Amino acid sequence: MIHVTKTFLPPQKEYQEILKRAWESSWITNRGVLVKELEAKLKQKLGIENLTLTTNGTIPIQIAIKGLKLKGEIITTPFSYVATTSSIVWEGCEPIFVDIDPDYLTIDEQKIEEAITSNTCAILATHVFGNPCNVDFINKIAQKHNLKVIYDAAHCFGVEYNGQSILNYGDVSTLSFHATKIFHTGEGGAFVAKSSKLHTDLYYHHNFGHNGPDIFMGIGINAKMSELQAAMGLAVLPYSEEIFESRKSVVNYYDLLLNHLEVNFLKIREGTKWNYCYYPLIFKNEKQLLKVKDALAQNGVFPRRYFYPSLNTLDYVKVQEMPISESISKRILCLPLYFGLERNEIETIVKVIENNL
């Protein structure tokens, strides 16, 4: 069977050698040496200054909302994973959706300003499939209206925009290091803050507010990454360039074989150094998508409807029509893409698609 993704696992011996250090110290949580080492290596790898690891990729969004003291309405995208919207609601704010650009699939920056009200406190946008939002335009809007900006950068490991890490934009960016991601720690994530002061505030929030054993710097929760997770990250990180190259090869081969088909593809924003994290196809209609999806399943291939459904249709948010997002979410299918996917497997996938369009 060929699934939409497959976790990259480093040689088990290498993972165990790193893990041995935690065993020898009997220190497996509360920010041990492996967590601190991984943070340092990620800062260097990604070209960023303020990063803290967390136990998953959702909790950094919640911490960002809490740390920025956001209340009221947060402008966001309906085309993202559910964690983006659910975090807003979980933290007691109201998501105000703005429709997406049909080519880039990111929030349509031209429609943001008309959604701003006196209750708007922030913009929470997603770099969809590692494709950057129009960060410069969004920054101008935020400055004009005194709004905070959070970027859900779950897909953005290694992505650069205009010569620097995409994580350097906005007040806070959040990452996911889930097992399905290019770089992973099994489960895990991180937050990246633009300013050192904000990063310090977020840091306390992620560890119960602790500043030493007996002093508390305000409210906090337990979002710490364990040494077991960090060990996986340290074992995976040396292979990141090899992973990028393998995925790039898969994407290029898909491009070669699929470019004659009457389907739409993701348009990568100019100035982006992309990370080849997903390969979405956008079909003419949902009926066509379902036909292809079923045919692939019959051949042991399991793509994913991602993102589906459009988040403005969730039953715990206020009804807001988002025609572009709703349409695309019904027509988009992410094809299998992972390290080591073979050419003959790609050819099988493409053949099934061709025969069912």
Q: Kindly report whether the global pTM for this prediction surpasses the value 0.85.
A: yes
| Joined tokens for residue 225 | 């990454």
Alpha-carbon gap, residue 333 to 225, rounded angstroms: 32
pLDDT (0 to 100) of residue 181: 97
pLDDT (0 to 100) of residue 144: 98
Count of H-run helices and E-run strands, the chain: 11, 15
Alpha-carbon gap, residue 41 to 35, rounded angstroms: 10
- Which contacts of 85-94 are long-range, i.e. CB under 8 A and separated by 24 or more positions? 85/311, 85/314, 85/317, 86/58, 86/316, 87/58, 87/61, 87/62, 88/124, 89/316, 89/317, 90/62, 91/62, 91/65, 91/66, 93/65, 93/121, 94/119, 94/318
| Joined tokens for residue 92 | 């007691």
Alpha-carbon gap, residue 253 to 251, rounded angstroms: 5
Helix or strand (DSSP H, E) at 77: none
Q: Angle, to 10 degrees, between the axis of helix 227-236 and the axis of helix 33-46?
A: 40
Taking Cα atoms as reference points, which of 124, 126, 79, 74 lies closest to residue 100? 79
Alpha-carbon gap, residue 12 to 14, rounded angstroms: 5
Taking Cα atoms as reference points, which of 221, 223, 152, 158 lies closest to residue 184? 158
Contact 277, 318 (CB under 8 A): no
Chain centre to alpha carbon of residue 251? 19
Contact 56, 189 (CB under 8 A): yes
Length of the chain: 357
Weakly modelled stretches of the chain, pLDDT under 70: none
For 168-189, what is each residue's pLDDT tens digit?
999 999 999 999 999 999 999 9
pLDDT (0 to 100) of residue 212: 75
Fold (CATH) for 239-355: Aspartate Aminotransferase, domain 1 (3.90.1150)
Number of Cβ within a 10 Å radius of residue 64? 29
Chain centre to alpha carbon of residue 7? 16
- Alpha carbons within 13 angstroms on the beta-carbon side of residue 271 total 11
> Do 2-98+105-237 and 239-355 agree at the fold level?
no
Beta bridge partners of 120: 73
Number of Cβ within a 10 Å radius of residue 211? 13
Give residue for tokens 């995409």: 166
What sections of the chain are H helices per DSSP?
12-25, 33-46, 59-67, 82-90, 135-145, 196-205, 227-236, 240-258, 286-298, 323-331, 343-355
Domain 2-98+105-237, CATH number (from 3.40.640.10, 3.90.1150.10, 3.40.50.720, 1.10.510.10): 3.40.640.10
pLDDT (0 to 100) of residue 210: 80
| Joined tokens for residue 302 | 């399991």
